[in-house]
């Protein structure tokens, strides 16, 4: 099965997630928030994804999906519970029941793997090589597509793995040299809250540094690639008037 056939199958499978048809017709709920339509569609989509991308890639997709889904679902449920416990929802806010987060969980566990499988199905590197070695040259639209593929593959296969390696190494260092100040056992409540806030601020600054590093690493080669791609055949970064002048000069010199 080539990648174009897989892309067609992926498009057909993703139609219910984009339109809601015919999932919405199955309104029977197995448990609160989990309908028979979404559950069956989730099982069908996971089966198709595992067959299209292979077992190893499917395991990675499922792992990343769980890491993305759990903070959203558990964080939202925790905030809703805290607001309900503090009775701030008497007039302006109504606490969302658990059925909403069950529905959100099953939806994310279905839609997120579909989005990730699209990246695994399309051979971006092969398309880039085919564009680079075209004998007829490239148009402006194809050059823009080639620039997008360059940036996307650089982020996917270079920036993200390098950032993950750095995070893994620094995580090993933190586990080896554990900070004793984070031990909150036996401390007063205000002291424990202060330590937790300091750690949260430190983690926020750390993740901000990681985000800035990712952005800088993603765009650092764009000027170089722009110059390289502008030199491809049938694409000159000058206007039509300049092109006509150069052609007339060449015709005069040939005569």
At residue 184, the pLDDT reads 55
Beta-ladder partners of 138: none
Which has the higher per-residue pLDDT, 121 or 75? 121
Summarize pLDDT for 9-33 with one digit per residue, the tens: 999 998 988 888 888 777 777 777 7
| Least reliable range by pLDDT among 129-138, 206-215, 232-241 | 232-241
Structure tokens at 88: 């701030």
Maximum Cα–Cα distance for the chain, whole Å? 95
Q: Which range has the top average pLDDT, 40-54, 121-135, 173-187?
A: 40-54
Structure tokens at 252: 């005069």
Beta-ladder partners of 54: none
Q: Three-class SS string for the chain?
A: CCHHHHHHHHHHHHHHHHHCCCHHHCCCEEECCEEHHHHHHHHHHHHHHHHHHCHHHHHHHHHHHHHHHHHHHHHHHHHHHHHHHCCCCCCCCCCCCHHHHHHHHHHHHHHHHHHHHHHHHCCHHHHHHHHHCCCCCCCHHHHHHHHHHHHHHHHHHHHHHHHHHHHHHHHHHHHHCCCHHHCCCCCCHHHHHHHHHHHHHHHHHHHHHHHHHHHHHHHCCHHHHHHHHHCCCCCCCCCHHHHHHHHHHHHHHHC
How far apart, in whole angstroms, are the C-alpha atoms of residue 186 and residue 47?
50
Summarize pLDDT for 77-100 with one digit per residue, the tens: 777 777 666 665 554 445 456 677
At residue 199, the pLDDT reads 74
Confidence label for 72 from pLDDT (cuts 50, 70 and 90): confident
For 29, how many CA atoms within 13 A lie in the half-sphere containing its CB? 8
Answer whether 181's CB lies under 8 Å from 191's CB. no
Is pLDDT of 247 > 70? no
For 244, how many CA atoms within 13 A lie in the half-sphere containing its CB? 3
* Residue found under tokens 């085919």: 130
Give the whole-number percent of the chain exceeding pLDDT 90.
7
At residue 219, the pLDDT reads 84
pTM more than 0.95: no
Is pLDDT of 7 > 80? yes
Is pLDDT of 250 > 70? no
Structure tokens at 116: 């990730």
Is pLDDT of 237 > 50? no
Confidence label for 138 from pLDDT (cuts 50, 70 and 90): confident
Is pLDDT of 236 > 50? no
- State mean pLDDT over 186-208: 74
At residue 25, the pLDDT reads 77
Summarize pLDDT for 101-137 with one digit per residue, the tens: 888 888 899 999 998 898 888 888 788 888 877 767 6
Q: What is the mean pLDDT of the chain?
A: 76
């Amino acid at each position: 099965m080539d990648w174009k056939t897989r892309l067609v199958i992926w498009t057909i499978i993703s139609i219910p997630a984009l339109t809601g048809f015919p999932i919405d017709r199955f309104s029977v709920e197995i448990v609160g928030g989990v309908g028979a339509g979404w559950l069956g569609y989730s099982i069908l989509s996971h089966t198709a994804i595992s067959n299209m991308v292979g077992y190893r890639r499917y395991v990675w997709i499922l792992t990343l999906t769980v890491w993305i889904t759990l903070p959203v679902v558990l964080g939202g449920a925790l905030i809703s519970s805290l607001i309900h416990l503090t009775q701030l929802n008497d007039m302006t806010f109504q606490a969302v029941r658990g059925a909403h987060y069950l529905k959100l969980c099953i939806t994310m566990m279905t839609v997120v793997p579909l989005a990730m499988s699209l990246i695994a199905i399309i051979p971006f590197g092969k398309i880039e090589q085919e564009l680079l070695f075209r004998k007829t040259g490239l148009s402006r639209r194809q050059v823009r597509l080639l620039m997008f593929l360059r940036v996307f593959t650089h982020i996917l296969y270079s920036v993200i793995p390098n950032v993950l390696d750095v995070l893994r190494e620094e995580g090993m260092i933190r586990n080896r040299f554990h900070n004793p100040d984070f031990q909150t056992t036996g401390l007063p409540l205000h002291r424990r809250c202060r330590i937790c806030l300091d750690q949260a601020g430190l983690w926020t600054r750390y993740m901000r540094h990681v985000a800035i590093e990712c952005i800088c690493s993603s765009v650092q080669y764009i000027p170089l690639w722009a110059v390289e791609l502008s030199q491809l055949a049938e694409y000159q970064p000058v206007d039509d008037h300049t092109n006509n002048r150069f052609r007339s000069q060449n015709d005069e010199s040939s005569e």
